[in-house]
Amino acid sequence: MLIEIDRHNPEYPKIKKIVHILKNDGVIVYPTDTIYGFGADIHSKAAIERIYKIKQKKAIGFSFIIPDLNKIAEYAHVSDYAYRVMKKLLPGPYTFILKATKMVPKQLIPKKKTVAIRIPDNATCLNLVKLLNSPIITTSVNVSGEPHFSEPLEIEKEFSDHVDAIIDNGILPNDPSSVIDLTGDAPIIIRRGKGDVSLFE
């Protein structure tokens, strides 16, 4: 099911419909400020398992999206420095690696004690996570190791049988987020992506 949503002014009834799907163990494709992602409520074990199968990926963990920094302490241990950095750069095209709290489901980060958190600068995405009132998994729309998909019609053709809804925000640039590790005393650049990383050099 392809659902077109205005990327600047997301229509509330459509957002509500997607949230209903997420609350019922659904798996969706949704836009961020970088690429399209597979999404599910992080507390839905059934949906997380479906995404692992779609990605043909072993259980090595996923990132997730929160609506704002007010929620971050529930899921990650954040130093004063890390908080200042994230407050300056978010919402934006960054993924931050932080030490996980016990609130993060083990299914989401098996064998790890860290978590990857995003707050994308995308109105559709942020409206979804705010209305759901629970973080949403984010992982690129592809089979693990294969190229990302950025065209909604191509995503529908390839994955419509595996997900419950695909949000169409138009074609997105195929440019992933920058990944920064903030678990130690100094930041470490893990991946240079769309976000400017000069602050960490």
- Cβ contact 39:136 at 8 Å: yes
Count Cβ atoms below 10 Å from residue 160 Cβ, excluding itself.
14
Banded pLDDT at 62 (limits 50, 70, 90) = confident
Look at the block and give the residue holding tokens 């990926």: 57
The two three-digit tokens of residue 178, written as one number: 């920058």
Mean pLDDT across 94-104? 91
DSSP element (H, E) containing 82: helix 80-89
Number of domains making up the chain: 1
Could you read off the pLDDT of 126-161 as tens digits, one per residue? 999 999 999 999 998 888 778 888 899 999 999 999
CATH number for 61: 3.90.870.10
Could you read off the pLDDT of 165-197 as tens digits, one per residue? 999 999 998 888 999 999 988 999 999 989 899
Asked if the bond preceding 91 is cis, omega within 30° of 0, the reply is yes
CA–CA distance, 108 with 90 (Å, rounded to integer): 23
20: containing domain: 2-200
Start-to-end Cα distance in the chain = 43
**3-state secondary structure (DSSP) of residue 86:** helix
Q: What mean pLDDT value characterizes the chain? A: 91
Contacts of 68 (CB under 8 A, 6+ apart): 119
Rounded to the nearest 5°, which phi and psi values hold at 118?
-130, 150
Percentage with pLDDT > 90 across the chain? 67
Looking at residue 59, what is its pLDDT? 65
The two three-digit tokens of residue 111, written as one number: 């064998």
